[in-house]
Chain A
Amino acid sequence: MTDFSAVAKGDELPPLILQVTRADLVRYAGASGDFNPIHWNDRTAAAVGLPGVIAHGMLTMALAGRLVTGWVGDPAALRSYGVRFTRPVVVPDDDEGATLELSGKVRDVVEGEDGSRIAKVDVTAKFDGRTVLGRAAAEVALPG
C-alpha cells in the first residue's frame, strides 16, 4: 500500500502488464463508436500498409491511463493527460494478443489551485520492447 503523503519526485509507479486481444478491440470499437476497419479487418490493415490489425490509439491511451488511476485508486482523480501516438500496437489474431508493458515515474509533486497535492507522472508504454506513446504525461490528485 502506497503512503501517498510521502510520494515524491522520482518515485516509480507499480508497473502494469496487459494483454490486448482482437476481442478487446471489437469491444472498444463498440464502446467508443470508432469502427475504423484497420482495428478489426486484416484486409483493410494490409491495404493501407500496416503490418496487421492495430489497436485504437485511444484504447492504448486509456489502458496506459489506468496505470495512473489504478495507482491512486480513483479514476476521478485524473486532472490532465496527454500522449503522442508514435508507433502502432499490432494485435495478432490469437488468444494472447499483444502485450502492453506500462510503467510510470513521478516527475514532480505540486500544490493544485484547490490545495490538493498533484503528482505529475511520466508514463511509458511499450509493445514488443519499443515505446508506442511519446511524451505521455498525466497530472493526478493524490489521495488524502
Chain B
Amino acid sequence: MPDESWVGRSLEPSEPYHVSREKIREFATAVGEHSRICHEVAAARAAGHPDVVAPPTFAATITMPLMESFLRDPAFGWDYSRMVHGDQSIVLHRPIRGGDELVTVVHVDDLTTRAGSHMLTLRCEIADVDGGAVATTKAMLVTQAAS
C-alpha cells in the first residue's frame, strides 16, 4: 500500500541535469525528428535559439529516472514491477536547449485507489539553475493494488 502521507509533498530538488548537444541529437534521431534546429547549431541560432533544440517529449524523458528512484524506494510502498504509464502531459514554458542546466522538483500531486488499482500523479517542475521555469510535466502511473 503506497504511503498516502506523501500526497501534497515534494522531493528534494534534483542534481542539475546538463543537456548536451549530443544527447539532443541522439534523442531527436531516435524519434525521427530531422529538423535542422535539433541537429545543427548554426540552424538553431539562425532560428533565434542559443543552441540546438530538444524535441518536446525530451522534457518528460529527463524526469523518468527521478520518478523511478522515488517509486523504487521501499519507503513509498509502490509495486514498480507491475506499473504502467497511464497518461503524460508536458507544458513547455520555453524549449529545452543544448547547454541547459536543469533542476527538477518532483511533486506528489495525487494518489487514488479504484477498482484494484493505485493511480498516482507525479508532477515535475523543471527549471534552469536561475529558477526560470522551463517545463511542467505530469505523469499518471498505475499499479495493481495488493489483493
The chain A residues found within 8 Å of chain B, CB to CB, are: 18, 24, 27-28, 30-34, 57-59, 61-63, 65-66, 69, 73-76, 78-85, 134-135
Contacts and interface: CB of A to CB of B under 8 A. Distances in A.
B31 A57 contact: no
Interface stretch (B7-15, B50-58, B71-79, B121-129): B50-58
B29 A27 contact: yes
Instruction: Give the 3 A-B residue pairs with the shortest CB-CB distance, closest first.
Output: A82-B89, A31-B30, A62-B31
Contacts of A28: 30-31
13 contacts: A18-B32, A30-B26, A32-B27, A34-B61, A57-B85, A62-B57, A69-B55, A73-B35, A74-B37, A74-B47, A75-B28, A75-B56, A81-B90
- Interface centre among A32, A75, A76, A81, by most chain B C-beta atoms within 10 angstroms, is A76
B47 A76 contact: yes
B84 interface: yes
A32 B84 contact: no
B132 interface: no
B61 A32 contact: yes
B61 A33 contact: yes
Interface string B74-99: 00000000001111111110010000
Contact of B88 (A24, A33, A83): A83
Interface string B31-44: 11101011000000
- Interface centre among B35, B55, B56, by most chain A C-beta atoms within 10 angstroms, is B56
Contact of A66 (B26, B31, B60, B88): B31
